[in-house]
């Protein structure tokens, strides 16, 4: 028979295997009954599996570091629906399989909000992917076979929540527009999508090869969607101005 720690690992009881000596000592000291020992074992294994599952989901989300909403300056934008943002952070749109579109100029916190929504979804047990529109299209466009492209389209179509950042900063050719439309269509009424953009929907034809492709994409996105518009001056620009050193008076060294 394999050593007990190895046998426990084969059964998937990794935490118990790693802390077996401590567990035996605790059970002996507290004079646990067999039932109490098993109850404790089940509890710690469930906690450990939940922790490892969360770590895997965070890693696969590609979220990386981000700033918590505690640091968000709600008073800075001249227009923001705080109640709608807080509802999104509670994942109400996700429960209804709706999309969420954050529309704002650069520096107003739309990416920060999207990152926090993604993090809340990971904590809630969802499989999340955070990426930019440019990264997604680069990945899809680099596939050299129809089978490889189909695999990647399936991957983007099946994530529990896809967060697509920075749509509108680059123009798209006909193939990129088609690939983006395929991703949105695969998720349509099945999986939620969070999208951030710096462009009003009326301006989307300026970045797509023709108005028809822009209209078709907008139609799929907004059919079941919460749309949050943020207006104001760039917060990052204000922060840069506040930290900028004042010019030295003339005649000083």
DSSP conformation letters of 44-81:
HHHHHHHHHHHHHHHHHHT--S---GGG--TTSSSB--
Q: Which of 200, 192, 197 is nearest to 220 (CA)?
A: 192
Q: How many domains does the chain have?
A: 2
Burial of residue 59 (CB within 10 Å: 0-12, 13-18, 19+) is: exposed
d(CA 80, CA 119): 21
The CA distances from residue 89 to 13, 61, 85, 175, 251, in Å, are: 34, 17, 6, 34, 54
Domain coverage including residue 21: 4-61
Residue 169 lies in a domain: yes
What's the pLDDT at 251? 55
Shared domain for 171 and 91, answered yes or no, is yes
Three-state DSSP at 231 gives strand
Shared domain for 105 and 214, answered yes or no, is yes
What's the pLDDT at 211? 87
Three-state DSSP at 17 gives helix
Q: Which of 152, 209, 132 is nearest to 178 (CA)?
A: 209
What's the pLDDT at 1? 58
Shared domain for 182 and 115, answered yes or no, is yes
d(CA 144, CA 232): 43
What's the pLDDT at 210? 87
The CA distances from residue 253 to 110, 245, 247, 248, 250, in Å, are: 43, 15, 12, 9, 9
Q: Which residues does the chain have with pLDDT short of 50?
A: 253
Q: In what order do the strands lie in the sheet with 192-197?
A: 128-132, 161-167, 192-197, 99-104, 225-230
Length of the chain measured in residues: 253
Shared domain for 45 and 84, answered yes or no, is no
Shared domain for 148 and 39, answered yes or no, is no
Beta bridge partners of 45: none
pTM of the entire predicted model: 0.84
What's the pLDDT at 253? 43
d(CA 230, CA 235): 12
Shared domain for 156 and 222, answered yes or no, is yes
Residue 242 lies in a domain: no
Residue 243 lies in a domain: no
Residue 125 lies in a domain: yes
Residue 241 lies in a domain: no
Residue 251 lies in a domain: no
Residue 240 lies in a domain: no
Shared domain for 124 and 168, answered yes or no, is yes
Number of Cβ atoms within 10 Å of the Cβ of 155: 14
Residue 115 lies in a domain: yes
Shared domain for 98 and 220, answered yes or no, is yes
**83: CATH:** 3.40.50.300
Shared domain for 55 and 163, answered yes or no, is no
Shared domain for 171 and 89, answered yes or no, is yes
Shared domain for 14 and 112, answered yes or no, is no
């Amino acid at each position: 028979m394999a050593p007990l720690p190895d046998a426990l690992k084969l059964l998937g009881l990794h935490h118990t295997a790693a802390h077996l000596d401590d567990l035996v000592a605790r059970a002996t000291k507290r004079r646990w009954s067999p039932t109490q020992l098993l109850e404790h074992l089940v509890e710690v294994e469930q906690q450990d599996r939940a922790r490892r599952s969360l770590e895997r989901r965070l890693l696969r989300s590609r979220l990386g570091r981000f700033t918590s909403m505690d640091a968000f300056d709600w008073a800075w934008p001249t227009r923001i629906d705080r109640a709608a943002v807080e509802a999104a952070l509670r994942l109400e749109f996700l429960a209804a399989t709706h999309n969420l579109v954050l529309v704002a100029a650069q520096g107003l916190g739309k990416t920060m909000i999207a990152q926090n929504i993604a993090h809340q979804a990971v904590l809630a047990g969802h499989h999340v992917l955070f990426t930019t529109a440019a990264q997604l299209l680069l990945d899809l466009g680099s596939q050299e076979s129809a089978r490889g492209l189909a695999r990647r389209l399936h991957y983007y179509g099946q994530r529990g929540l896809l967060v697509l950042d920075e749509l509108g900063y680059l123009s798209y050719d006909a193939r990129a527009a088609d690939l983006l439309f395929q991703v949105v269509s695969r998720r349509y009424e099945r999986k939620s999508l969070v999208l951030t953009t710096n462009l009003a929907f009326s301006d989307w034809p300026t970045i797509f090869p023709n108005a028809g492709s822009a209209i078709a994409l907008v139609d799929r996105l907004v059919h079941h969607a919460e749309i949050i518009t943020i207006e104001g001056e760039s917060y990052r620009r204000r922060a840069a101005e506040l930290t900028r050193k004042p010019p030295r008076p003339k005649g000083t060294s």
